[in-house]
Structures are given as C-alpha cells and as structure tokens.
Structure 1
Amino acid sequence: MEHTETLLAALSSPEREPLNHVQLSGKFNIAEATVKQRLREIYSSFSASFPELDHHAGAGKLRILRARLIQKYYQPSQPVVAPYPEEFISIIEEKIRRFCGRQFVFETFEQFITDNPHGYFTIVGDAGMGKSSIVAKYVSEHKSPCYFNILVERRNKPELFLKSIRRQLIDRYELPNSEDADLPTLLAQVAGKLTAGDRLVIAIDALDEVEQESGENLLHLPTTLPNNVYFLLTRRPFNLSQRRLAVSPGVPVKELDLRDSDYVHFNQNDIKQYIQYVVINPESEYKDALRKWIQTRSITDTIFVEEVAKKSENNFMYLRYVLPAIAKGDYNDLSLKQLPDGLLEYYQSHWVGMEMEANPGQLMEYVLYILLEIGTPIPCEMIAGIAKVDECDVGKVLDKWVEYLKKQNVEGEICYTIYHASFLDFLKTKREMDSNRRIFREVNQRITEYLENGMA
C-alpha cells in the first residue's frame, strides 16, 4: 500500500511533472532515504515491463517511468490537442517515427536539470547526427514549448521565434496582457506560476540556421533566467567567428557534443539499434527487401548491422538514405563492403549514378541548383519558368530526386525545397568547385530575369 501511495503522489497527473524524492519526503513526513528505498522497489517492480529502468543510472528514472506509463495506459476521455504549434506537428511526427536510442542525451540533460536551478543545455553535432530528432522526441514526450529553426523555409528569424513562443506560453499558462511582452518578461511570468516540482523547458532546434544581425544573442535569448526555467538547444559546430550564446556569470551552461569520444560507444549502439529496427521490425516497410539483400549475399544480420554501422560514421541521415536505397535495389550489384563510406560519399555516388558528372549542364543539375539558390519553397511552375523548360519535364526531375526534397503545401500550391542541411552542404561544394562551367552564374542570371519579368 505504501508503494502505491508513493507512486500515486509522485505521479499525480499525466499533465504534471512528477514530484522528486525531497518533495515526497515532505509530503509523507518521512526520511528521504525511506522515499529513495520505496522508489527503488517501485522501479524494480516495473523493470520487467520497462527494462530501460534497470539500464538507467542517475536522475530521471521517475520521469522515464511516467512517460512509459502514459504511453501504455493513459487514455484521455477527449482527444488531446498537441501543445506545440501546428507548423511543427509534421516535423515532430516524422522525426520520432523510427526514433531509436539517444538515452544518454536525455539522461545527461535530466542530470543537468537536477543539478541546476535553471540554465542552458546545448546539444552539438554534425548534420545528420539526429539533433532535430532528439528535440522532437523530447517535445513529444514532455509537451514542452518548442521552436524549430528551418533555413530553407525562412522560419529562422528572432521575431518569428518570439511570436511562436509567446503564443505557446500565453496559451499554456494563461498569461494576461502579454501579447507584446518580451521573452524575459514572459519567462518571469511563467516562473511565478510554476508550482512545486514544476519547471519550464523550452526546446529550440538548429541555432546554426538562425538569421539575424551580428553582435546580438542568438534569437535574443535572455542572459539571465528565472529559477526552474531551462532551455534545451541544438546546433551544428560553430566556427570561432560565428555568433554564440552569451549569458551572465552564474547562469549554468552545458554542452553535449555528440562527436566527443566519450559518446562514440553510445552513438554506435544507437545506430545499430536503428539498423536492427529497420531490418527486423515487422512495422518496417523495408524489412522484406533488406532481408532478401542480406540472404542473397549469405551474410548474417549481425554482420550487416556491424558493417553498415561502421560505414554510416554514426550518421543517421546516411541510414535514412542508404537503407531504403538497398531495399529499392540501387545496390544489387554491390557487396556489403562496396557500399559508400559516410554521407558525403553516398551523395557523391548517387550524383555520379544519376550521370551528373558525365552529362554536366543537364536539366537535373539546373533544377537542383535553382532550389539551392532560391532557398525557399517554390512551385514546379516557377522552377520551369526559371529553367525555361516545360513544367512536365521539371516534374519528372523532381520525382527522381524526391527523397532529397521536401514537398509542402504553401497557400494551396505544392512547393519544393531541399530536405536536409547535409545535402545543401553537398550542393554548395559543387558551387564552390564550379570555376569552369559557370553554371551557377547562369542559374542566378535566369532567376534574376524571371523575377524581373514577373514584376514588370
């Protein structure tokens, strides 16, 4: 009975943060050691259903248990409206669809929150290492206010960030007369409404894609924070000349760099777990084709997982492209050892396979470079107008490169942009090497002519 009472007190509501052992000690008027012992026995009781409780070391077990219980048992009487903006629902759902691992990141962040009254926690990593997916997973489980900076959609400016976060905080915490409030004011108002055990975590993805004047704090984030207010941030590695986050002395700041040698083992395990999911899980759409490819080459699942993990160089974006490509038959003539090494080699091998090197200046190249230079979602008709070709021909090109493009409805019109920053980087290297054909100069000239004619 005492274990049941402790658990019910700790997890009083699916919408509230769990009470910690200090708060439980005060509530029941018992020693903290007694509370900790009860919690250990509770975790042991649930470990058969949720094995990660046994594998988790340090703070955060209670929140893991809460999340798993909500997922398995909580059935609200009314549909739950996602507490994040509609503009981010699709990206969150996509990123968490085959999410695997990264528990070491969540544990480190949970420990940071436990150890500090407030602060900034930043996840650093190269393109394709899963930073956006980590944020999406955290937001989906904790229903945190969030913002995803997206360069190709021009959703990456401080005023857009503030407008979105302001709306989220006003709606969630019922803040009166705050429609024009700045972020420090909003955070102070929310902090004043937080009850014991509550905290505010605001998750922001891709600080490296933010566009703003130099010399200012990224997104005008405050240099000081109220107690129980935390920011979970992600970014790609900065050059020394690039803007950074500045905070006042005494504000806790921590970076977790996914590239650090301390995390190599964790990254490799997560990569292998992802591959195993795609190869073995009945819900994987690529399972049957991948197993056929593996069996045709008389290799074991274990060897396949190990070798593909090595070739991925701990990059999830590599797996997102290579595993479907194997399933589709793109590598039927290759052995496991001949698969491309790393994401950039994959892009280059696909580029060569599409005869982009053999036939430079073809429509395919023009279409991709137009998307690169425009940098915002544009319709097929506009691409055709810039390239001065039939819209049907452009549509065929877009279909051939569909896995690299993001298709979205913009004011009733289907528009296209480059899907991921890593492929944008690859195309930019082509622009930097284009010293002989000058194709980018021609593309930009055509863009200028098209826009001038449209405004004439």
Structure 2
Amino acid sequence: MEQTETLLALFSSEKAALNQAQLSVELSISEPTVKQRMGEIYRKFSSSFPELSDQQGAGKLKILQTKLIQKYYQPSQPVVPTQASNSSPYPEEFISLIEEKIRRFCGRQFVFETFQQFMNANPHGYFTIVGDAGMGKSSIVAKYVSEHKSPCYFNILVERRNRPELFLKSIRRQLIDRYQLQNSEDADLPTLLARAAAKLTGTERLVIAVDALDEVEQEPGGNLLHLPKNLPTNVYFLLTRRPYSLDKKRLLVDAPEEELDLRDSQYVNFNQDDIKEYIRFVINTDSDHKKGLRNWIQTRNIPDTTFVEQVANKSENNFMYLRYVLPAIAKGVYNDLSLKQLPDGLLEYYQSHWVKMGMEAQPGQLMENVLYILLEIGTPIPCKMIAGIAKVDECDVGKVVEDKWVEYLKKQNVEGEICYTIYHASFLDFLKGKREMDSKRKIFKEVNQRIAEYLEEGLG
C-alpha cells in the first residue's frame, strides 16, 4: 500500500513526475523513506521493464515514466467514423503492407504523442515525420492507420504507385465510402476535404496519413500531390518523407505545420530505447527467429543485455538493419563471426552480403544481372520477363528471386502473375550506388541494351 501511495503521488500530474524532495513533502515522510520506497518500486517494475535493471544511477524515473505512459496512458484520439460492415478498415491495396509493418512494431510513442499535441494545439494542419531510409517511417504510419483506421496512402516508388492521380483516386474512394459523400466521384481534393469536414461532429477529426512524399513522381508546378495550401477545421495530414534541402521543398502550405525529424538529437535516446525494445522482442518473443538467435547468443556466452546494447549501437538506430541482420543471425549466416564483427550500419550490411554472395569475385553473374534488371525496369515483373531479358532459363531466375535474394525482393500477384520488385528504397539506393561506380565493367549499359532488345522483340 505504501508503494502504491508513493507511485500515485509520483505521477499525479501528466506533465511531470515529482522528485524525491517533493514526494517527501507531499506524503509527509522523510527523503530516505522515499528513496527506500522508490527502490522497491523500481525492483518490482524491472520484470516488466528490463531497462530499469540496465540503468545505473540517475535516469530510472524517466524510464519508468516513459514505459508506463507507453503501456497504459491513452490520450484522446480522433474519433473513427463507423465503417460499413462489408468494407475494409483500410484500402485493399495496402492491407498486406500495413499488416507486415505492424507485425513486430515496437515503441515510437514519442512520435504519436507529439502528433497528438500538434492536433490539440491547432485547429487543422500538416504534421511531417522526417527520417532516413530504414528509420521506421512507414511502420509509424501503418501503426497509426491500423489503430485509428485513418484514410491513408503509401507512395511506393518500386511499384510505381507514387503519382498524384493514383493518390487522389484512392483518397477520393476512401472519403466517399467513409462519409457517404454524394456526387463526389469527380471531386478534387479540396472539395472532398470540405465535404468530409462538414460531416464531422463534436470532437471528431479527420486525419489522412500519407507515407513517403520523397518517392512521389510529379511534373513540376503546383503543390506536392496537389495537396491544398489550407485545410478545413479538424482536418489534418500525417506525412512522412526522407530529408531534403530547403531549395527542393515541394510542399508549400498556409495551414499550421510542424516537422518531427527522427534524426534530431533530442530524440536519440527515444530512438535507442525503441531499437532495444525491438531487439528484445525478437530474441525473446518472435516465433520466427527467437530460437536461432538464442542459440547464437548462448553459444558465445553473451549476456542478453550486452547483445541488445551492441546490436543497437551497430544498427545506428535503423530498424531496416535489424530486419535483415537479426534473421540472418538466426539462420546461421554469421556463425563464423563474433558480436563485434557484425556489420556496422545498413550500408555496410548490404555490402557485406554483396561480398558473401560472391558478387565482387564474379562480376556479371546471373544474380547481379537479375538485380540490375529489376533496378532498371522499376516496376513489378515476372520471372519469365527477367529470364527473357537476361537470356537464361526461367528456372535459374526463379532460384535467384526465391532463394538467393528473397529477403531483398517483394513478391506480389499482378493480374494473376507472380511478379518481383526491389523491397526497400534503401536497397534501391545501394544498387544505384553500384551503378554510379560501375564505370569499368559497363554492366548497366549491357543490361539496358538487353532490356531495349527484349522490348523491341515484343513489339515486333
């Protein structure tokens, strides 16, 4: 009861926890008694929040407050309109993407809280999450959409799903279905938003989530995705993009706007905490990789805390690094390496895998050609087309896309045919870097020549 009394007094305000001196006055007890009670509180919560055991000295109170807020505190959220019983909570085209992104989602509570504060402080506006490739921007959007069933659009460069007309078509259909908008099949975005806003009641808000503005392909002139400069009351956009210089800014608005840059120094500790939480989840809970990871860790007599700390440091706060490296460890790819020998950062990981697959030793091999063909084509294509361009057997291409490079490629059904594209923009960037450096072997010139020949034969 004493510890419960202390805990309730400690967090009596949502804004800030009391310190030991303030608790002493509040509870009319001595500071040593407060210290003793807090020690018991930390000990009891350490089983739920292992970070408390890892933290030595100051900082435990902040960890406890952050974790309790993440686990139990639910701020007021936008009201979700009732969906028709036969409709999907989000667009069918993005269901698999959203489900994949949220399957191992961890943390990022500070992002959601900052966005909530922005909405509370402004009657409408644009809120943009900025971060490097692999920092989890798409997952943040997917998590928000999955919880609030918000209208959404994911710009995907490698699938050519990244043009203004496709965005408007999707958002128009979502808003018409959600708010039962009449005679809106040809309405532009400002009209749609105005009509949807007129349907909002009480404390309702309309939040539209749009991922990867940096991947949008659009002719010069006008706002990015033709987003309106101003917004109706209670209408908000949750956006994400990679960093760019101010002279390349393509979204100009008159409405309130705010950016949260995940790379900012004020978020370093939050990012590290979320990365560590993700690693702990995978090694302790994830059914796909837990066994292999625990075996790798135990074989090397590495304490869990050491593994979590060092892999987090090597990740450079990049979730995409963990998405590749942790499964690779579990599968035995790094059985010949120690913890310190694991790749540092996402680009080094890509390069080390490139070398492991013999790409440097045997330039121009089928695996390399397949990846370059996918890079140059830029849209989902079937094995048959890849084989036709590379002038090899279709079965050989199948071994590459289904075995050798399966983690890096996205498989999807396009009009009844299984097609492949590059999975993530960061790997796309890595391959483009290879293209820029490939001035001697001229592989890309050869690949483009073969693509041209294949297309000419098809037309003929």
Question: Which interval holds the TM-score relative to the shorter structure?
Answer: 0.7 to 0.9
Partner residue in 1 for 2:278: 274
Contact 1:123 1:131 in 2 (8 A): yes
- Pair 1:144-2:147 in alignment: no
Contact 1:217 1:243 in 2 (8 A): no
User: Match for 1:113 among 95, 119, 131?
Assistant: 119
Q: Secondary structure at the match of 1:415?
A: strand
User: Match for 2:327 among 320, 324, 329?
Assistant: 324
Distance of 2:86 and 2:67 partners within structure 1: 31
Aligned length: 395
Distance of 1:211 and 1:334 partners within structure 2: 42
- Pair 1:302-2:305 in alignment: yes
- Pair 1:362-2:376 in alignment: no
Contact 1:53 1:64 in 2 (8 A): no
**How big is each residue's C-alpha offset from its partner over 1:142-201, in whole Å with a ceiling of 9 and x where there is no partner?**
000000001111110000000100000000001100101000011111111110100100
Distance of 2:370 and 2:115 partners within structure 1: 42
Distance of 1:66 and 1:337 partners within structure 2: 48
1:191-270 correspondence runs (5 A): 191-248=197-254, 251-270=255-274
Unpaired segments ≥5 residues, structure 1: 1-46, 68-75
**How big is each residue's C-alpha offset from its partner over 1:330-374, in whole Å with a ceiling of 9 and x where there is no partner?**
000100000000000000000000010011011111000000000
1:95-110 correspondence runs (5 A): 95-110=101-116
Distance of 1:288 and 1:81 partners within structure 2: 39
- What TM-score do the two structures reach when normalised by structure 1? 0.83
Contact 1:278 1:286 in 2 (8 A): yes
User: Match for 2:415 among 411, 414, 417?
Assistant: 411
Q: How far apart are 1:113 and its partner, in Å? A: 0.3
Distance of 2:76 and 2:150 partners within structure 1: 14
Unpaired segments ≥5 residues, structure 2: 1-44, 49-63
Contact 2:163 2:218 in 1 (8 A): yes
Distance of 1:434 and 1:131 partners within structure 2: 31
Q: How far apart are 1:215 and its partner, in Å? A: 2.7
Q: Secondary structure at the match of 2:248?
A: coil
User: Match for 2:352 among 344, 349, 356?
Assistant: 349
Q: How far apart are 1:396 and its partner, in Å? A: 1.1
Residue type of the alignment partner of 1:316 = F
- Pair 1:86-2:92 in alignment: yes
Contact 1:369 1:443 in 2 (8 A): yes
Q: What's the Cα RMSD here? A: 2.2
Residue type of the alignment partner of 2:459 = M
CA 1:52–1:152 in 2, change beyond 3 Å: closer, same or farther? farther
Q: How far apart are 1:61 and its partner, in Å? A: 3.2
Partner residue in 1 for 2:378: 375
Distance of 2:66 and 2:334 partners within structure 1: 40
CA 1:65–1:153 in 2, change beyond 3 Å: closer, same or farther? closer
- Pair 1:62-2:75 in alignment: yes
Residue type of the alignment partner of 2:138 = S
Contact 1:405 1:417 in 2 (8 A): yes
Residue type of the alignment partner of 2:225 = L
Partner residue in 1 for 2:433: 429
Contact 2:78 2:206 in 1 (8 A): no
Q: Secondary structure at the match of 1:277?
A: helix
Q: How far apart are 1:62 and its partner, in Å? A: 3.3
Contact 2:129 2:261 in 1 (8 A): yes
Distance of 1:441 and 1:391 partners within structure 2: 22
CA 1:330–1:54 in 2, change beyond 3 Å: closer, same or farther? closer
Distance of 1:81 and 1:276 partners within structure 2: 36
Q: Secondary structure at the match of 2:445?
A: helix
